[in-house]
Structure 1
Amino acid sequence: MAIGETHHTLERPTFDRAPKILIVVAPYYKDIADQLVKGAEAEIEACGGFHETIQVPGALEVPTAIGIAERMSNFDGYVALGCVIRGETTHYDTVCNDSSRALTLLGLQGLCIGNGILTVENYKQAEVRAEAAGQNKGGGAAAAALHLIALARKWGGPRSGVGFTPARDEYQIASAGKGPTVT
């Protein structure tokens, strides 16, 4: 964000039932990661939510951890946090692109994810963006996840008249009692 630039921030969503969020952080740059987590935790708590934090080795492992948690746990949403600083090789581009793409694919599958993995040119840029009392990108990622959870809850729930619904509480085999018996 350029200095002096203004942008619109949505109001915090409200919840009838507190959301449960998993924060997945890659603490490669620990002081940056700590600030991101601090901002995310404050935003989740401001909405009355609960959070758990886990650490993974790097930004590429964040989406995998979220995918595992989605299959094996019961979180409403996820906050992906970490920092990738450009170096002298193309590894930066690979990590940035692949972690972002994987998070996007998980989101398109219906997961509510806020992406707070910073992709910056230098350490100073990371400090400015991560600071919980400043740009607070960790809090912004948590807010994104919370807004997606609110949408999922708004549009979720039982649907009627859409898709296949059995006529009775019992299921019948299509060929049961009809035609010749095959042995």
Structure 2
Amino acid sequence: MAFSCVTRNVFSILPLLVIILTIITPLSSSLSPSDKVTTELLNQLCAKPPIDNNNFCLWLTSYAATVALDLSALVDMVLQKTQVFGNMNLSAMKDLAATTTDPYLKDTYEICAIDYELAVTAIEGAQAFARSKSYELVPQAASKALDIISSCEADLKDLKNVSAYSIRNSLFERMCNIGNVFSSVLTS
């Protein structure tokens, strides 16, 4: 009788113990910033739902230097390329705003230029957090850039004859998304 009472009590708290142990012990699949990047890891990251194997992610998997990096350096590289591309798009938006004669387009381009300035600043912030090893703040900054640039994307989709700029904006948006997803791996 005493045995069944002990057995019953152990089995009743067993699920609680499993949950506590799961929280306390790190998962075997968790990654650290110093883990080496492999093709398998890149393929796994690029297959995550918000990314869905877009061109930039596919380029990363085929770029030979990528697999020579650790995760921290990979995130830094992704953020650096995103920042460079964002600055190129910012320059294009400023040029478009300066040269168009259509007042509606001018306003849209100027608003997008402001969005790009803010998004690039957020990406630079994500880079600073990554380099200072404040990994928990990197996805927040990358996500902020993604949120900011999404409004420009919405504005450009409504316009006619600007498909090339909408595509460039969409690519930047995807790069911000990759920076967000890749950097969130550093905190999982």
Richer in helix (by share): 2
Same fold per superposition (TM over 0.5) = no
TM-score range normalised by the length of the shorter chain:
under 0.3
Query: Per residue, is there more strand in 1 or in 2?
Result: 1
